[in-house]
């Protein structure tokens, strides 16, 4: 599966999701994973470098590709990997648009706050445009930094009810210190010495929910060219 994490708003947890899902696919599903960093900030690339230094190897392949080359290069690499996870920057870029044209599934993280909810319409527009080239593209929104209680999460879910491009996926990640703590040392929350069980359960639920989504294309690795 080619999965792209996309949100034109910054700081909503795209890289956190990308690196945690990449590691999750490796450690829980023994998948051969490519993590593509299309953000010029290079945060996912930095994570991979810190991880390699700490563990000796990342367990997945990490590359940085920017601009419109994302489309051709990811297409060329897709047969070599079981899963490709693409992290994007927090604004509308060529790389983000290119990634949407090759992905099977777009995951749109948002926080249950009005500004984030408003940006979902913009992201839906980008997804609609990408579908002209990539009609099989599916998109789901997931809440990141969910509040433990209160009406915000329900309100955020309702905000998506009328969105025709993006479906709400009920598999939120809560606001938990484990995520920044693990990001900083190149680990997934699944690998922390003192695991935050709630963070791990949320990540696994999200990964399982994403894997269960029916897609128009399956894994390319080993598949013969048409
Ligand atoms: N579920 C969470 N709980 C607590 N902190 C989180 C969570 N998700 C992300 N964060 C923290 O929020 C900050 C922003 O996250 P992250 O860098 O993943 O966002 P981003 O969308 O990739 O940002 P950018 O648009 O700059 O690339 C980081 O400090 C990260 O550790
Ligand atoms: Mg980022």
What's the confidence (pLDDT) of residue 58?
97
Pocket probe mutation, ligand 1, options 8, 16, 145, max atoms within 8 Å of Cβ? 16
Phi/psi for 44 (5° steps) reads -65, -35
Q: Where are the alpha helices (DSSP H) in 30-106?
A: 43-55, 69-77, 94-102
Q: Three-state DSSP class for 100?
A: helix
> Cα(132) to centroid of ligand 1, in Å?
31
Q: How many CB atoms lie within 10 A of CB 40?
A: 11
> Cα(154) to centroid of ligand 1, in Å?
21
> Cα(138) to centroid of ligand 1, in Å?
23
Tell me which residue has its CA closest to atom 3 in ligand 1.
175
Pocket probe mutation, ligand 1, options 11, 95, 141, 182, max atoms within 8 Å of Cβ? 11
For the chain, the residue count is 226
* In the predicted structure, residue 222 carries a pLDDT above the cut 50: no
> Cα(77) to centroid of ligand 1, in Å?
27
Cα torsion for 181, 95, 33, 50, to the nearest 10°?
A: -30
Ligand 1 nearest-atom number relative to CA 18: 18
The pLDDT tens digits of the residues spanning 39-48 come to 999 999 999 9
What's the confidence (pLDDT) of residue 221?
54
The pLDDT tens digits of the residues spanning 148-160 come to 766 667 777 787 8
- Dihedral sign, Cα of residue 76, residue 61, residue 23, residue 127: negative
Contact between residue 61 and residue 31 where contact means Cβ atoms under 8 Å apart: no
> Cα(148) to centroid of ligand 1, in Å?
17
Q: What is the pTM of this model?
A: 0.95
| Structural domain spans, the chain | 2-210
Query: In the predicted model, what is the mean pLDDT of residues 27-37?
Result: 98
Contact between residue 171 and residue 211 where contact means Cβ atoms under 8 Å apart: no
**Residues lining ligand 1, Cβ inside 6 A:** 10-16, 39, 41, 43, 89-90, 144-145, 173, 175-176, 179-180, 183
Pocket probe mutation, ligand 1, options 13, 17, 99, 198, max atoms within 8 Å of Cβ? 13
Distance CA 37, CA 42 (A): 6
Instruction: Give 189's contacts (C-beta < 8 A, 6+ positions apart).
Output: 20, 176, 178, 179, 182, 195, 196, 199, 200, 203
Distance CA 145, CA 48 (A): 23
The pLDDT tens digits of the residues spanning 82-135 come to 999 999 999 999 999 999 999 999 999 998 776 677 789 999 999 999 999 999
> Cα(41) to centroid of ligand 2, in Å?
8
Q: What is the CATH number of domain 2-210?
A: 3.40.50.300
What's the confidence (pLDDT) of residue 225?
36
Contact between residue 107 and residue 140 where contact means Cβ atoms under 8 Å apart: yes
Distance CA 110, CA 13 (A): 8
């Amino acid at each position: 599966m080619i999965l792209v994490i996309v949100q034109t708003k910054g700081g909503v947890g795209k890289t956190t999701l990308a690196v945690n899902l990449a590691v999750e696919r490796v450690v829980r599903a023994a998948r051969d994973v490519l993590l593509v960093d299309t953000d010029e900030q290079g945060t996912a690339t930095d994570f991979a470098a810190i991880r390699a230094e700490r563990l000796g190897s990342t367990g997945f392949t990490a590359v940085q590709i920017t601009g419109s080359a994302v489309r051709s290069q990811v297409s060329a690499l897709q047969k070599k990997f079981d899963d490709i996870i693409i992290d994007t920057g927090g604004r509308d870029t060529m790389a983000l648009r290119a990634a949407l044209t090759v992905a099977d599934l777009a995951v749109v993280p948002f926080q249950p706050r009005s500004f984030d909810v408003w940006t979902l319409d913009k992201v839906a527009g980008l997804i609609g445009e990408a579908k002209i080239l990539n009609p099989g593209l599916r998109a789901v929104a997931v809440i990141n930094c969910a509040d433990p209680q209160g009406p915000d999460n329900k309100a955020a879910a309702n905000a998506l009810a009328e969105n025709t491009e993006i479906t709400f996926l009920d598999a939120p990640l809560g606001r938990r210190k484990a995520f920044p703590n693990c990001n900083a040392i190149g680990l997934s929350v699944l690998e922390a010495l003192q695991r935050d069980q709630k963070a791990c359960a949320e990540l696994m639920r999200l990964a399982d929910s994403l894997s269960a989504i029916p897609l128009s294309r399956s894994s390319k690795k080993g598949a013969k060219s048409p």
